[in-house]
Amino acid sequence: MAIGRSKVVVVGTGAVGAAVAFDIVMNHVCDDLILIDINKEKSWAEATDLQHSLGYSGSKMNIKDGEYADCADADLVVIAAALPYITGQTRLDMMEKASVIMKSIVPPIMASCFSGIIVVITNPVDVMAYYVHKLSGLPANKVIGTGTALDSARLKYHLADIMNVDPQSVNALCMGEHGDSQIIPWSQITVGGKKFLDIINDNKARLKEFNINSVDEDIKMIAYRIINAKGATTFGIAATTVQIIKAVLFDENKVIPVSAMLNGEYGENGVYVGVPAVLNNKGVKELVEYHLANNEMMELKKSIEIIKQYNEKLKL
């Protein structure tokens, strides 16, 4: 009998789920990887294809397609199932159909006696993370949405490119809805430890073409451009999800902006929203509460209010 083996289940083997599974294998994140899909031929094909990659990876992972019963002893379940994006939709427009999918997935996961942590990718992710929390009965710290983690990575890359510095030298994030109402808290962004707003003021000649409002819009809209061109965003969300998985499985206490339940932070309660959180083997250990500028707090409140309105439309 294997001792201390880590196990991850990915539910949904479309473009996103398959990319997540591939990233898990390439980084040998766990010992056992199970793929589940309503299309059993698809999950079998993805699992078999991943098995064939092991000959060149040096990994000894156990990869297979499976059933919801396989969730029983899983450490973590990733929900990546979703219907294809329809041009012109916002993420919030996908809520009704996404909620039907969640209702078909979460009960059988929990019927297996699963007691681990769930990571939700399915959009609208803030609303779906809340819904999964309610459907599963798991404590809020054990249900994590990918939230604004990918948006934050996009922002870091964008600012690093403008400044011609390594992205790891940029401390930047997006907050609020993973969607059209998300905000960039510019007061909290630093490059090399220096506030970005001070960098703008000190380098007016160098950054004269820089426009905060255009960056806000670019980060919000870049996903739609990618989806319209290739059908889905895959590599970015896969890498993002794997960072969250690693933070949990390896007990990293790593701060990542994810969709997590607010319990008084930012003056809000009972709503999942993209905020920086400390992640470890308990899931969300704690949230990081920033002292936002007044205008940033107002925009965050507006974003949270939109999420709340959609939460109220769910059939709980």
- The set of catalytic residues is 178
- Which of these, 281, 280, 282, 278, lies nearest to 255 by C-alpha position? 278
Annotated ligand binding at 153? The verdict is yes
Annotated ligand binding at 48? The verdict is no
Distance CA 262, CA 269 (A): 5
Annotated ligand binding at 123? The verdict is yes
List the structure tokens of 67. Answer: 């059933």
Annotated ligand binding at 284? The verdict is no
Annotated ligand binding at 121? The verdict is yes
Annotated ligand binding at 241? The verdict is no
Annotated ligand binding at 234? The verdict is no
List the structure tokens of 247. Answer: 């933070």
Distance CA 182, CA 300 (A): 7
Annotated ligand binding at 16? The verdict is yes
| CA angle (108 as vertex; 246, 49 as ends), nearest 5 | 55
In sequence order, which residues have a C-beta less than 8 Å from that of residue 230 and are 6 or more positions away? none
Annotated ligand binding at 192? The verdict is no
Annotated ligand binding at 306? The verdict is no
DSSP per position, 188-240: G-EETTEEHHHHHHHTTTTTTT--HHHHHHHHHHHHHHHHHHHSS--HHHHHH
Annotated ligand binding at 206? The verdict is no
Annotated ligand binding at 125? The verdict is yes
Annotated ligand binding at 144? The verdict is no
Binding-site sequence positions for NAD(+):
12-17, 37, 42, 68, 104, 121-123, 146
Binding-site sequence positions for substrate:
91, 123-126, 151-154, 233
Binding-site sequence positions:
12-17, 37, 42, 68, 91, 104, 121-126, 146, 151-154, 233
